[in-house]
Structure 1
């Protein structure tokens, strides 16, 4: 009999999902029916499956070490998302298990083990997310109309402002301290004395707590103090974009000004100079680029004479030349445009519709994503209710919180009325593919590109790009770029 182990995970943001015990029970029942001998169980509680957080899962990491020791031949999980919700993590695990001749089985999902099944499952999940994102944009239409009138759009007003009848007015007491903080920043002085003065005077933030350095940083980056109304319909994915807000609705001179634009820009320049150097950049093709020797190429940022340069270099230092990152990004974007040609979109749409007709878990996956959105909104609502229950907030803050709660309640109602589409139409699928083609962001690149191999000689650099859709499109795809 083959030796098997069980891996189970309970995520803190999925409190209504199957518990650890239920997952283990399902896996043991499967093992008994298939003649497998379960020799161990690994479980992680209240640890997320998002992104690359598998590194923080102690039991998961212990299981991987035991894989390398050859202690078992099969890993049983309840569903694929118990391992991760990140395609890159699944690909990495699959390669590791394949090298050790270990089989991964999700006992509650009958997707099969073919490459086509894995790819189509990933695409279908992304398509469902696209559908929910479109729904979310419909919910936000009212917020956009409010923003275009430069009215308060929910949330807490910045320190220094109050909200009266949805319009921002200056709180002169708070605004005086905002000006002091900006003056200190412009003069490259500290904030300790100012914060001590505020604490002694009983001046707190909008939530009734003392002002700390983190709040000072947020104030010094807030362009609203210059009189510019700013509203972001959707939070930016990249951290740096959350500061600059490139897609925000901006209306100049719509708010009463507390700080001059000239002083604000000077403070931004000073703060930018102080930022730590060497932070990892959000490289478009990170993790996909390989040297001609077979080793991965890592991204690096260097500075020379005040200019920044982004390059990829071979991790094994085989002697290959570094490659400019913009060349790799350009090749990837051009490849996606060819890959998502109208002809290929027809083929992908047909394959997706054929796959979804036989995929048992699609509706369940969609409903889980929908319920997660509802729980997130409910969490926001409950947090605001807790603040109101404290009973120590100023009347204007109570009004502000109440308005935000009404907005969240409307969003929850909209989500609760949502029903998953019984079948994605060709037009819906093509619209989603056009979004991927137009954006060509990191998410699109990692969804549709499996590997970028760089080959070099003395005169030129070539890029051999392989798509995750190769098994779907076959030889009719756009081909590799060389």
Structure 2
């Protein structure tokens, strides 16, 4: 009698425990009819099968690599194991490597309980997997189409509703009293009133948010929310018929400009060096580090200085830069240029081309395929020798080594092939940069900037990329911006800063 475990799953919260019980009952009956002993069960509740990031499923895979007593993984149907054909293939290979067999209680699979091949099951199993993946994608598309049609008609499609709105009969309408509060917050901020002062005034008037005084982050979120302008964006689509406009466009634009300018942290008591660990000297190659000093009048000055020039006195010609001048210049340049459609299009188009090239040319995949061919040749030669009667302990050992190597190579090839198919759409790449531009300064820098190389008259800004880099780490970037800009700097004994021409090069 062989030992087996049962894996069961249902995919949405709308399904119930009865779904699991039904799967277990069918699997147990199959086990009884086929002389299998069930030793354990693995159950995932309300978990999608479109990927394998499921707690019980991962535990099953992990346990399969341990010296456990079971040999069979029994599922109600193949789609319980997964709905993604690539991940099913990889995870089945992982089970096979651990000498475990996947069996369905209701469908013919590629292997029988005794480990022999099931020829018609090979075809049927691939058909089941294809149908499951097709069903999952079709259902997803139908849901998205339905939501898009509802949004086009101006209907509310779920999710949180911002302060100042409410839902009435599937339509979003303004909540008159709260909408007036939103307009007050915008108008005050547009006049130059600071957020803590606005919160204090609201609290004195007895206006609270969820029973408590407004939190600063809540107010900032209100000030940055385009929905108050009547604009709602979803997956690259813009809708102007879902949210009624609460704030006039001229006030919203004025507030947006002030929010972007004020979020640089000039009023912060603690000093935060936004570009720390991002700067490199273009002359000597050493990092440019954060420094501070005190002037003759007692004023504390913060700046960035070449570490090589300071510590090693290497004669580097890179001059120090005032912290606020450099940070503001970098942030303003990024926000201004990446907000331009032409610039964004250059970035997105360039990354799409790199992604296509990477998918065509995977050095790791080429190497693995070459090794597989060599291993298969060696295995065939060894089998020919065995057929001719050349059998010894050495040939048996070599045979097992080659079989294990071939199994591992096939698994790695599947993994690498799946990587080349994981591509980002143009919309997702664009969304990565657009969402990063809305973040607070430190988060914006962390998300977008990989490194900035500084010279006295030039800076090269290297951007992070959302796409998967080439496996060999040698993927080529591209420049999408090369212009002259002007940055302020301090001249000794002069009360006002002067302007210096800086060549700015941006590269992904």
TM-score range, shorter chain: 0.3 to 0.5
Q: TM-score, normalised by structure 1?
A: 0.46
Q: Which has the larger radius of gyration?
A: 2
Q: TM-score, normalised by structure 2?
A: 0.44
Higher relative contact order (CA 8 A, sep 6+): 1
